């Protein structure tokens, strides 16, 4: 303990006493103001009020003893006042949590600019996915989802890709390991398309059905500028009496105009999918050159955007196992599936699919 800074008292007139006591009181107040922890408060108590070596004890023994008789009374009065002050400081430190000094150090300066919190915004893929979904919702379609980890049955077999059929090679599949114990149809895989949700929907409700299914799909494809092993699709399914290919054409033509602007034209090219017959690829007139021909459309004026077709009777046959009303003699339907990344890349002029997943705020911030 350091008591050297207690002033020496040589004169005992009122002014000298006043000055000496004021000095010690200031020391006590400064020390008390700096107290932050319970340990520091206890140290303060010992240092100032300790019976043997406390500073007040020292003041009393140095000053009171040296004082001439006539000064003992005023000195004693001042000493008691000082002691009360120090005890008060201690009480305050014990009872009132952090000291003023500690508070001052932490205090919020309300004149400083605040911490900026960025407002979140929809990711461009989510945004595009929602936009596509809304176009069909406005036509009366409901919205459904299905599992990303799917069985071989829903992803392939019920979609008319029989086991061992070469059509399965068109969708290089990521399968879950150690499934040998299970029958082929129960083996798990990461769904390669959203089409299995067509079957899940039909099994769960009789016709009529109008539904869109947005979701994530996986394929064992190497990443390049336009491919990613994880991407998104929006599936569509419409089943009712007398649904024709004209309904399919009209619906998709409307959807493409809603997504890309009313000047866009569509055309349907013969294609193949196991679960639709006939099947078609839908092309839209190039949104970059208006159909004149440019680099983006490889000078053809057209860009291929999605797959579609009339639901194959073989698919209805699988649905009939749970819902007999899917009788291909009485009902018909169409289905379509589109890649969300591809549409987002077209809409926003993005040339690298990887940008969507890199998490670079300079890229993502542009869509906020």
Query: Would the CA dihedral through 310, 314, 319, 325 be positive or negative?
Result: positive
Q: Which of 53-61, 112-120, 287-295, 301-309 is the region at the interface with ligand PHE (rule: CB under 6 A)?
A: 301-309
CB neighbour class for 129 (10 Å; exposed up to 12, middle 13-18, buried from 19): buried
Q: What is the DSSP string of 121-178?
A: ---HHHHHHHHHHHHHHTTT-EE----SEEEHHHHTGGGT--TT-GGGGGS---B-SS
Q: Can you list the alpha helix ranges (DSSP code H) found in the chain? A: 14-33, 38-49, 55-59, 65-66, 69-95, 100-106, 124-137, 152-155, 196-204, 245-260, 313-320, 340-348, 361-364
Q: Count of residues binding ligand PHE (CB under 6 A)?
A: 11
Smallest distance from the beta carbon of 232 to ligand PHE, in angstroms?
11
Of 39 and 169, the one with the shorter C-beta distance to ligand PHE is 169
Q: Is 146 near ligand PHE (CB under 6 A)? A: no
Of 21 and 334, the one with the shorter C-beta distance to ligand PHE is 334
Smallest distance from the beta carbon of 338 to ligand PHE, in angstroms?
8
Of 50 and 229, the one with the shorter C-beta distance to ligand PHE is 229
Of 101 and 143, the one with the shorter C-beta distance to ligand PHE is 143
Question: Coil, strand or helix: which one is 228?
Answer: coil
Beta bridge partners of 302: 285
Distance CA 226, CA 342 (A): 8
H or E stretch covering 290 = none
Q: Is 276 near ligand PHE (CB under 6 A)? A: yes
Of 71 and 133, the one with the shorter C-beta distance to ligand PHE is 133
Does residue 99 contact residue 93 with C-beta atoms inside 8 Å? yes
Q: Is 308 near ligand PHE (CB under 6 A)? A: yes
Place of tokens 């036509």: 139
Q: Is 337 near ligand PHE (CB under 6 A)? A: yes
Q: Is 316 near ligand PHE (CB under 6 A)? A: no
Given 55, 193, 232, 342, the residue binding ligand PHE (CB under 6 A): 193
Q: Which of 42-50, 51-59, 330-338, 359-367 is the region at the interface with ligand PHE (rule: CB under 6 A)?
A: 330-338
Given 99, 195, 251, 266, the residue binding ligand PHE (CB under 6 A): 195
Residue nearest to ligand PHE (CB): 337
Distance CA 4, CA 17 (A): 18
List residues binding ligand PHE (CB under 6 A). Answer: 193, 195, 235, 273, 276, 307-309, 335-337
């Amino acid at each position: 303990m350091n008591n050297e800074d207690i002033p020496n008292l040589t004169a005992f007139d009122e002014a000298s006493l006043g000055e000496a006591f004021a000095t010690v009181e200031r020391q006590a107040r400064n020390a008390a103001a700096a107290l932050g922890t319970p340990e520091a408060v206890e140290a303060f108590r010992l240092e100032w009020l300790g019976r043997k070596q406390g500073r007040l004890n020292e003041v009393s023994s140095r000053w009171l003893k040296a004082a001439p008789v006539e000064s003992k009374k005023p000195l004693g009065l001042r000493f008691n006042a000082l002691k009360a002050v120090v005890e008060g400081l201690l009480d305050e430190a014990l009872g009132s949590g952090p000291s003023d000094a500690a508070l001052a150090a932490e205090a919020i300066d309300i004149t400083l600019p605040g911490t900026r919190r960025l407002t979140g915004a929809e990711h461009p893929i989510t945004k595009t996915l929602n936009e596509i979904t809304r176009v069909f919702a406005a036509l009366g379609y409901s919205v459904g989802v299905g599992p990303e980890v799917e069985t071989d049955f829903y992803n392939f077999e019920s979609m008319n890709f029989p086991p061992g059929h070469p059509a399965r090679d068109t969708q290089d599949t990521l399968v879950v390991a150690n499934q040998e114990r299970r029958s082929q149809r129960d083996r798990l895989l990461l769904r390669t398309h959203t089409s299995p949700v067509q079957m899940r929907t039909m099994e769960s409700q009789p016709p009529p059905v109008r539904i869109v299914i947005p979701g994530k799909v996986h394929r064992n494809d190497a990443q390049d500028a336009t491919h990613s092993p994880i991407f998104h699709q929006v599936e569509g399914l419409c089943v009712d009496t007398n649904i024709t290919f004209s309904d399919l054409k009209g619906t998709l033509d409307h959807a493409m105009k809603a997504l890309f602007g009313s000047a866009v034209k569509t055309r349907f090219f013969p294609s193949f999918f196991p679960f639709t017959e006939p099947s078609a690829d839908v092309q839209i007139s190039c949104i970059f050159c208006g159909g004149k021909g440019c680099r983006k459309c490889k000078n053809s004026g057209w860009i291929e955007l999605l797959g579609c077709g009339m639901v194959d009777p073989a698919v209805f046959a699988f649905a009939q196992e749970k819902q007999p009303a899917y009788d291909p003699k009485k009902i018909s339907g169409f289905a379509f599936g589109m890649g969300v990344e591809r549409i987002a890349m077209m809409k926003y002029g993005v040339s690298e699919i990887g940008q969507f997943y890199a998490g670079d705020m300079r890229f993502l911030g542009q869509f906020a």
